[in-house]
Chains A and B, each alone.
Chain A
Amino acid sequence: MSAFAGSEANETFVLNLGPQHPATHGVLRVKLTMDGEYIVEAEPVLGYIHRMHEKMGENRTWAQFLPNTGRMDYLHALAYNHGYVSVVERAAGIAVPERAEYLRVITAELNRVSSHLLWFGAFILDLGGFSPLLYAFDDREHILDLLESVTGSRLTYCYFRFGGVYNDIDDNFVAGTQAFIKRLRGRMPMYHNLVTKNIILMTRLKEIGPISAEMCRKYGATGPVCRGSGINFDVRKHEPYSIYPEFDFDVPVYEQGDSMARYMVRMDEIEQSLRIIEQALDKLPEGPVMADKVPKILKPAKGDYYHAVETARGSFGVRVVSDGSNTPYRLKLRSPTFSNLSLFGEACRGMLLPDALALMGSLDLVIPEIDR
């Protein structure tokens, strides 16, 4: 990073990044106070795509909120499905059949890989490289086809239900997923040769946009952002849910805290997700995919419940308060990107504008999920 050459005369100007800007990947506005090419202050302005998901949840039955969960983070919709169904299952005391849990893990991990692939393409696009996006989309397309064949949709899945999943997988899906794992494993060296080892990428990411572990803790950053700063925290490992404890996988952690570290965390996570899927397919038990005796009209017992899941962007938590009726009394969604974005203002102070954009890309922002 080049040194901050602030001028004495205090001549700054305000630059609006967004709300419509290719680098913000959505309607996010960042008010930048600039001194020449250097950022003096950055203030994210949120709310352009606020849809009141929490309030919507409080005005409809428990089941009717299910489709909303996929619309918050459209890139890793299944994890959001998972968080919401898990908290309601906890509240209503529904036991989920084992096979359904396996299917949830397999599909959610596939979805995580597709999310990381899209992030990979879009991030390199932010930095000015176009071809990797096309290669990543080629691989991602295979995942979307696989998920479409079981869930019926390609992006905003609504596949999980209270007590299980919507429908079972078939042999084609199993064979297709195994073939895909092989294919992606074969392609990863190509990605590393094409992108990771590229000198332009390295100079644009190494030691750029440092985020300390301290800062992550201060703003509550989770996911690859905190793991790129040396904090070993993954909800799947440290607050285990579903059947994750049964699988053998590593949590990639990098100490450097720069954009390169966050990049590497995600690239390594793709491989770890593939490992989980592989093990899950091997161990996949037979049985029903839906609990019997799930009441049609759900009325969870009075109480306050919380459940967190690890999404591609970090820890997503759902808190529901039930008053025993057929609608939630309070629904609170803790979205990871909101916390991850919050540190942007502090982290990019004194940075060159193009470096700050690289930092922003490395945070992997999904705007509808920040605003909810």
Chain B
Amino acid sequence: MIDYLREIISGTWSLFVGLGITIRYFFQPVVTVQYPYQTLPMTPRFRGHIELVKDEETGETRCIVCGMCQKACPSNCITVNGEKREGVKGKVLTEYRLDFTKCSLCGLCVESCTPKAITFSKDYNLAGVRKEAYIFDLKKRLEAKNR
């Protein structure tokens, strides 16, 4: 009987202790961010979809169309096409297609690229209603950015 009463008292007390904690936290500053009105900066290593790097000297892409990124990708997201042009050593990039619908942002492509021609973008709030919106031509994107 005594144990029973003791349990009731300590049990009720434990509820008040819990309530005290929630009340205390209620008056503490808010920890959430009111997205989309407020945003946080992305960390430097944030991995968004990949994009071509602009070479500071030429203003063009550094891609040499070796196809290593295409081969490294586990999900076959990348299609690189290039052509031989007269007067230019090696191949020239004509198309760099990224199918972002299948990309797992693993970064194997970026690691495999010897001339460091691709990097991660900081785009995180992509939105679209059609699948095609996520098939990017990275070369066109780079050109658009340059303009």
A and B associate: yes
The stretch from A189-197, A310-318, A333-341 touching chain B is A189-197
The stretch from A58-66, A99-107, A209-217, A234-242 touching chain B is A58-66
Total chain A interface residues with beta-carbon distance under 8 A? 32
Q: Which of A63, A138, A156, A193 contacts B21 (CB 8 A)?
A: A193
Shortest B74–chain A CB gap in Å is: 4
B14 in the interface, Cβ–Cβ < 8 Å?
A: yes
* Residues of chain A from 73 to 132 with CB closer than 8 A to chain B in the complex: 131
Asked if B43 contacts A149 (CB within 8 A), the reply is yes
A274 in the interface, Cβ–Cβ < 8 Å?
A: no
- Using a CB–CB cutoff of 8 Å, the interface residues on chain A facing chain B are 60, 63-68, 71, 131, 135, 138, 141, 145, 148-153, 156, 158, 166-167, 190, 193-195, 197-200, 296
The stretch from B49-57, B85-93, B105-113, B131-139 touching chain A is B105-113
Asked if B72 contacts A152 (CB within 8 A), the reply is no
Asked if B74 contacts A60 (CB within 8 A), the reply is yes
Asked if A64 contacts B72 (CB within 8 A), the reply is yes
Asked if A138 contacts B31 (CB within 8 A), the reply is yes
Assuming the A-B contacts A194-B22, A199-B14, are A63 and B45 also in contact, with contact meaning beta carbons closer than 8 angstroms in the complex? no
Asked if A197 contacts B14 (CB within 8 A), the reply is yes
Chain B 1-27 per-residue mask, 1 if CB under 8 angstroms from chain A, else 0? 000000100111011011001100100
Asked if A149 contacts B21 (CB within 8 A), the reply is no
Bound complex: CA A150 to CA B47 (Å): 11
Asked if B18 contacts A153 (CB within 8 A), the reply is no
Shortest B80–chain A CB gap in Å is: 17
B94 in the interface, Cβ–Cβ < 8 Å?
A: no
Residues of A within 8 A of B15 (CB): 198-200
Shortest A115–chain B CB gap in Å is: 20
B100 in the interface, Cβ–Cβ < 8 Å?
A: no
Asked if A198 contacts B14 (CB within 8 A), the reply is yes
* Complex A-B: 6 CB contacts under 8 Å: A63-B108, A64-B72, A64-B74, A66-B74, A66-B108, A152-B46
B81 in the interface, Cβ–Cβ < 8 Å?
A: no
Shortest B4–chain A CB gap in Å is: 13
Assuming the A-B contacts A67-B106, A197-B14, A199-B12, are A148 and B21 also in contact, with contact meaning beta carbons closer than 8 angstroms in the complex? no
Bound complex: CA A118 to CA B43 (Å): 23
Bound complex: CA A198 to CA B15 (Å): 6
Which of B10, B44, B74, B112 has most A Cβ within 10 Å?
A: B74
